[in-house]
Amino acid sequence: MKIEDKSAFRIDTLFDADTIAARNRELADKIASAGLDNLLVVAVLKGSFVFTADLLRALYGANLSPEVDFISLSSYRSGLESSGEVEILRDVETDVKGRNVLLVDDILESGRTLAFAKDLFSARGASKVASCVLLDKANKRVVDIDADYFGFECPDVFVVGYGMDMAHSFRELPFVGVVVQENEI
């Protein structure tokens, strides 16, 4: 699916930019107080790239100077439903042995993506694998896993913006919103 006509959709704001920025500062303070030395932040792409960039600068404000790497995992293909399988599309370049790793993802839903990533970095010998997600859809969990840090509880709706997409669109929005199809109103 490609979204040819964005005017067919309205985006209702769920979390605005100021609210997200304030929460990022709180998360950074909590992460800083965990005393994770030699920290490696791993952004789980693509959806987390905006959140990770903002969280990283909030971590600077909390006096942390982590290294950063990226892993691209797919669970969602281009439809709305999860396939259930997680695949590495692009791997990190860093040797994580003995490192404290903070996985950063956009949304924790079934938990399959985060569980896969945690197992992967643990198996590679990371000292600790902590996790931080922007949004937690807690009642959608299939795997028994929780994030160490999360920004907001998210209702069971499909969200876009702040790095998150619907069929490759809407990542540029500076807020998190819900897609409403105009002809369904």
Using CB under 6 A, list all residues that contact ligand 5GP: 47, 75-76, 82, 105-114, 158-160, 164-166
CA distance 12 to 31: 30
At closest approach, how far in Å is the CB of 145 from ligand 5GP? 9
Q: Which does 169 bind (CB under 5 to 8 A by kind): ligand 5GP, Mg ion, none?
A: none
Nearer to Mg ion, 25 or 171 (CB): 171
Radius of gyration of the chain from its Cα atoms, rounded to whole angstroms = 16
Q: Which does 126 bind (CB under 5 to 8 A by kind): ligand 5GP, Mg ion, none?
A: none
Is 111 a binding residue for Mg ion by CB under 5 A? The answer is no
**176 close to 135: Cβ distance less than 8 angstroms:** yes
Which helix (H) or strand (E) covers residue 26, if one does?
Answer: helix 17-33
Is 47 a binding residue for Mg ion by CB under 5 A? The answer is yes
At closest approach, how far in Å is the CB of 92 from ligand 5GP? 17
Nearer to ligand 5GP, 72 or 127 (CB): 72
What sign for the dihedral angle of Cα 111, 115, 116, 121? Answer: positive
Q: Choose among 176, 179, 159, 177: nearest CA to 50.
A: 176
**Shortest-Cβ-distance residue relative to ligand 5GP:** 110
At closest approach, how far in Å is the CB of 94 from ligand 5GP? 21
**Shortest-Cβ-distance residue relative to Mg ion:** 47
Per residue, what are the HEC states of 56-99?
HHHHHHCCCCCEEEEEEEECCCCCCCCCCCCEEEECCCCCCCCC
At closest approach, how far in Å is the CB of 88 from Mg ion? 13
**101 close to 123: Cβ distance less than 8 angstroms:** no
Nearer to ligand 5GP, 99 or 105 (CB): 105
For residue 144, CA distances in Å to 12, 116, 150, 152 come to 31, 12, 16, 19
Token pair belonging to 89: 């599309």
Nearer to Mg ion, 47 or 177 (CB): 47
At closest approach, how far in Å is the CB of 134 from ligand 5GP? 9
Interface with Mg ion by CB under 5 A: which residues? 47
